[in-house]
Amino acid sequence: MMLEAVIGLEIHVQLRTMTKLFCADVATAAAEPNTQVCPACLGLPGALPALNRAAVALAVRAALGLGCTVHRTSVFERKSYFYPDLPKGYQITQAARPLATDGTFESVRIRRLHLEEDAGRLLHDRVAGSTAVDLNRAGVPLIEIVTEPDLRDAAGTRAFLTRLRRALLHLEVSDCEMQNGSLRVDANVSVNAPGRAAPAVRTELKNLNSFAHVQHALEYEIDRQTRILEEGGTVEPETLLWDASAGRTRRTRGKESDSDYRFHPDPDVPPLTITDAWVAEVRRNMPELPAAKAARFAAAYDLPPEDIEVLTADPALASYFEAVAQRVDAKAAAGWVMTEVLGWLHRHDSRIEGVSVDAQALADLIRLVEQGRVSRQAARRAFTIMAESGRPAAEVVAEHGLTQVRDESRIAEWVDRTLAEFPEEVASYRAGRTRIMAFFVGHIMKLSGGTADPQRSTALLRERLER
Ligand code: ADP
Ligand code: MG
């Protein structure tokens, strides 16, 4: 029996707004628990919600970026259920009439995109022996993006999510950090004979804390369902939690049907009207999407596709690169950003916003290398010092003695010391193993703290070795 997986995603994205969706509380989670709350998001009797225009604008931008049709009228409904992190007893969301529908992104159809408010959070480690509730997040604006079941395998789903996240970052609608919950993914999966319509029975995977977890959970679940079907069994529709440390899914509860939530229009929130003029305004202010940026970089900077992929992964990195490339040769700029800057960010678990070498400072350093005043190796050291101190290139180079030495007599000193130290290597060079030239040059670099001009050093070495 040939079986095929069918996968559809529900993706929650926290919008980057100052305040919550229906009240003026600050929408950041960083504050002390229960300090960003008010009668409206606590659901106190008589408090009225007021829709946040900025959140709507970001949702419209996301919808347009994913090729959706934005509807003139959409309706906020109450989704009622009981849970301790939901003080109102219902979530305001959009159900029957969502903000936007019918998009496509990377060949995956987007069924709908709607606005809703987040719930609070349960804290299990705050009060010994009890569970505490933090309602700062209650009412924070989210968009939910629902795809059609167009994905077919675990690795492809992960690749899709990586591209979707990249697009949302470029659209500047969210910081999309899975660790802090501003991007959350639920994956629906079923297994089917290819060519036939997707079967009704699917499971929903939750508790997916990274794209790697999404992939692993899907691989596990596709395997599990395949085995059940091959043995002639039936798959139960259910919600499963991914247990990453055990590498398996666990049962929670059966899937509830929509009617359990008693959806009905919220009597306190009027239908949302979005005029053509508003859509046009959002369109005018759309940031550049990754595909357009990549095409522009290819035309403007003559870089290989792999480099462009790396440089456009994050919009902040892309604009940093562009700011450097406007000041020095683009290839040199790309090389420095991809090796030194990304290496530094990786070692310090930081983002480009956190590096204290701005584009001007990096361009200055690259120019010193291009002028032959600093060797590539010494410049790497200078970069590290600049990143730690935030000081300009010329100052760091001068102060730390990193200026390239081109003076023949000083280079000759290092050359002679090196040749005296390694007589066997000298003999083997003279016997024809000329490849060890790199070893001699490396040693001169070590002696000179990376300041010796490598070209002059090589020339002088050759002169001495070949006479
Ligand atoms: P519900 O009405 O229960 O919310 P939907 O049909 O609206 O279910 O789909 C919810 C999510 O499940 C969507 O992301 C959709 O792509 C996905 N989905 C639907 N059918 C399947 C299927 N057979 N296999 C996998 N995913 C599916
Ligand atoms: Mg849903």
- pLDDT, residue 399, reads 87
The torsion angles phi and psi of 250, rounded to 5 degrees, stand at: -130, 150
Contact between residue 458 and residue 435 where contact means Cβ atoms under 8 Å apart? no
SS3 content of the chain, % helix, strand, coil (to 5): 45, 20, 35
Report the nearest atom of ligand 1 relative to the CA of 146: 14
Residue 304 in this model has a pLDDT that exceeds 80:
yes
- Is ligand 1 within 6 A of the CB of residue 147? yes
- pLDDT, residue 351, reads 85
Given pLDDT bands bounded at 50, 70 and 90, which one contains residue 257? low
- Is ligand 1 within 6 A of the CB of residue 6? yes
In angstroms, what is the span from residue 262 Cα to ligand 1's centroid? 20
Distance CA 178, CA 164 (A): 13
Distance CA 107, CA 159 (A): 12
CB atoms within 10 A of CB 441: 18
Residue 95 in this model has a pLDDT that exceeds 60:
yes
Least confident of 100-109, 216-225, 343-352, 397-406: 397-406
- Is ligand 1 within 6 A of the CB of residue 214? no
- pLDDT, residue 373, reads 86
Q: If you average pLDDT over residues 44-63, what whole number do you get?
A: 96
- pLDDT, residue 454, reads 85
- pLDDT, residue 337, reads 96
- pLDDT, residue 462, reads 92
pLDDT digit string (tens) for 141-197?
999 999 999 999 999 999 999 999 999 999 999 999 998 899 999 999 999 876 666
Least confident of 11-15, 357-361, 407-411: 407-411
In angstroms, what is the span from residue 60 Cα to ligand 2's centroid? 19
- Ligand that lies nearest to the alpha carbon of residue 225, given by its number in the listed order: 1
Nearest CA to ligand 1 atom 15: 8
pLDDT digit string (tens) for 332-369?
999 999 999 999 999 998 888 888 899 999 999 999 99
In angstroms, what is the span from residue 437 Cα to ligand 2's centroid? 65
Distance CA 120, CA 335 (A): 44
- Give me the percent of the chain exceeding a pLDDT of 90: 77
In angstroms, what is the span from residue 265 Cα to ligand 1's centroid? 23
In angstroms, what is the span from residue 214 Cα to ligand 2's centroid? 17
* DSSP codes joined into one string, 368-391: HHHTTSB-HHHHHHHHHHHHHH--
In angstroms, what is the span from residue 49 Cα to ligand 2's centroid? 23
4 phi-psi bin (left φ>0, alpha ψ -120 to 50, beta other)? beta
Contact between residue 449 and residue 410 where contact means Cβ atoms under 8 Å apart? no
- pLDDT, residue 62, reads 98
- Ligand that lies nearest to the alpha carbon of residue 8, given by its number in the listed order: 1
Nearest CA to ligand 1 atom 21: 149
In angstroms, what is the span from residue 57 Cα to ligand 1's centroid? 27
Report the nearest atom of ligand 1 relative to the CA of 198: 23
Pocket test of ligand 1: the residue of 191, 202, 205 to mutate, having most ligand atoms within 8 Å of its CB, is 202
In angstroms, what is the span from residue 379 Cα to ligand 2's centroid? 53
Nearest CA to ligand 1 atom 19: 149
In angstroms, what is the span from residue 30 Cα to ligand 2's centroid? 27
- Is ligand 1 within 6 A of the CB of residue 381? no
Distance CA 22, CA 139 (A): 7
The torsion angles phi and psi of 14, rounded to 5 degrees, stand at: -80, 125
Given pLDDT bands bounded at 50, 70 and 90, which one contains residue 1? low
Buried b (16+ CB within 10 A) or exposed e, 71-93: beebbbbbbeeeeebbbbebbbb
In angstroms, what is the span from residue 233 Cα to ligand 2's centroid? 27
In angstroms, what is the span from residue 149 Cα to ligand 1's centroid? 6
- Is ligand 1 within 6 A of the CB of residue 188? yes
Average pLDDT, the chain: 92
- Is ligand 1 within 6 A of the CB of residue 146? yes
Report the nearest atom of ligand 1 relative to the CA of 10: 14
- 120 or 400: which leads in pLDDT: 120
Nearest alpha-carbon partner for 296 in 277, 318, 273, 323 = 318
Pocket test of ligand 1: the residue of 101, 188, 190, 225 to mutate, having most ligand atoms within 8 Å of its CB, is 188
- Max avg pLDDT among 49-58, 187-196, 403-412: 49-58
- pLDDT, residue 202, reads 93
- Is ligand 1 within 6 A of the CB of residue 149? yes
- Is ligand 1 within 6 A of the CB of residue 190? yes
Given pLDDT bands bounded at 50, 70 and 90, which one contains residue 258? low
Nearest CA to ligand 1 atom 13: 8
